[in-house]
Structure 1
Amino acid sequence: MKMINFKDAKIPAIGMGTWHMGSDRAAYAQQKATLQYGIEHGATVIDTAEQYGDGDSERLVGDVIKDFDRSQLFVISKFYPFHAERKQMQRALDASLKRLGTDYLDLYLYHWPGSTPLAEVVANMEAMQQSGKVKHWGVSNFDLSDMQDLWSVPGGQHVMANEDLYNIGSRGIDFDLLPWQREHNVPLIAYAPVDEADGRGANLTKQRALVEVAKRHAVTPFQIMLAWAIRDGQTLAIPQTSSEQHMQENIAAGDIELTTDDLQLLDQAFPKPTRHQSLDII
Structure 2
Amino acid sequence: MIYRTLGKNMGEIPAIGLGTWEIGGRDFPDLSRDKEHIDTISRAIEMGYTHIDTAEYYGGGHTEEIIGEAISVFSREELFITSKVWPIHLRKEELHRALEGTLRRLRTDYLDLYLIHWPNPDVPLEETLNAMSEEVVNGRVKFIGVSNFDTPLLKKAVAVSKQPIVNNQVLFNIDDRQPMEELLPYCQSHEITLTAYSPLKRNSLKPSTEKLLKDFAVKYSATVQQIMLAWLLGKEGVVVIPKASKLDHLRLNLEAGSIVLDDDDTRRLDSLE
TM-score between the two structures when normalised by the length of structure 2: 0.92
Matched, 1:254 2:257: yes
The correspondence for 1:61, drawn from 63, 67, 77, is 67
1:187 deviates by: 0.7
Match of 2:110 in 1: 104
- The runs of 5 or more residues in structure 1 that have no matched partner are 272-282
CA gap 1:205/1:71 in 2 versus in 1, 3 angstroms: farther
1:128 deviates by: 1.1
Contact 2:83 2:113 (C-alpha < 8 Å) held by counterparts:
yes
The correspondence for 1:140, drawn from 135, 140, 147, is 147
For 2:260 and 2:209, how far apart are their aligned partners in 1?
21
Contact 1:15 1:238 (C-alpha < 8 Å) held by counterparts:
yes
Contact 1:169 1:204 (C-alpha < 8 Å) held by counterparts:
no
Q: Name the aligned partner's letter for residue 188 of structure 1.
A: L
1:42 deviates by: 1.6
Partner SS for 1:107: strand
Matched, 1:231 2:234: yes
Partner SS for 2:169: strand
Contact 2:117 2:146 (C-alpha < 8 Å) held by counterparts:
yes
Q: Name the aligned partner's letter for residue 18 of structure 2.
A: M
Partner SS for 2:170: strand
Aligned-residue CA RMSD (Å): 1.7
Match of 2:267 in 1: 264
1:69 deviates by: 0.5
Match of 2:35 in 1: 29
Pick which of 165-174 and 143-152 moved more.
Answer: 143-152
Partner SS for 1:194: coil
1:243 deviates by: 1.0
Q: Name the aligned partner's letter for residue 235 of structure 1.
A: V
Contact 2:95 2:128 (C-alpha < 8 Å) held by counterparts:
no
Partner SS for 2:201: coil
Contact 1:167 1:193 (C-alpha < 8 Å) held by counterparts:
yes
Match of 1:122 in 2: 129
The size of the alignment, in residue pairs, is 266
1:73 deviates by: 0.3
Q: Name the aligned partner's letter for residue 11 of structure 2.
A: A
The correspondence for 2:78, drawn from 37, 47, 72, is 72
1:213 deviates by: 0.8
Correspondence list, 1:64-213, <5 A: 64-114=70-120, 115-155=122-162, 158-196=164-202, 199-200=203-204, 207-213=210-216
For 1:122 and 1:11, how far apart are their aligned partners in 2?
21
Match of 2:48 in 1: 42
Q: Name the aligned partner's letter for residue 209 of structure 1.
A: L
Partner SS for 1:257: coil
TM-score between the two structures when normalised by the length of structure 1: 0.90
Partner SS for 1:226: helix
Q: Answer 1 or 2: higher relative contact order, Cα 8 Å, separation at least 6.
A: 1
1:266 deviates by: 1.7
- The runs of 5 or more residues in structure 2 that have no matched partner are none
1:206 deviates by: 7.1
Match of 2:218 in 1: 215
Partner SS for 2:111: coil
Match of 2:21 in 1: 19
CA gap 1:112/1:212 in 2 versus in 1, 3 angstroms: same
For 1:181 and 1:206, how far apart are their aligned partners in 2?
26
Contact 2:188 2:236 (C-alpha < 8 Å) held by counterparts:
no
1:2 deviates by: 2.0
For 1:195 and 1:100, how far apart are their aligned partners in 2?
28
Contact 1:144 1:176 (C-alpha < 8 Å) held by counterparts:
yes
CA gap 1:63/1:195 in 2 versus in 1, 3 angstroms: same
Match of 2:2 in 1: 2
Contact 2:197 2:242 (C-alpha < 8 Å) held by counterparts:
yes
Partner SS for 1:254: helix
Contact 1:31 1:243 (C-alpha < 8 Å) held by counterparts:
no
Contact 2:4 2:193 (C-alpha < 8 Å) held by counterparts:
no
Deviations 1:234-259 (A, max 9, x none): 11100011111110111001111111
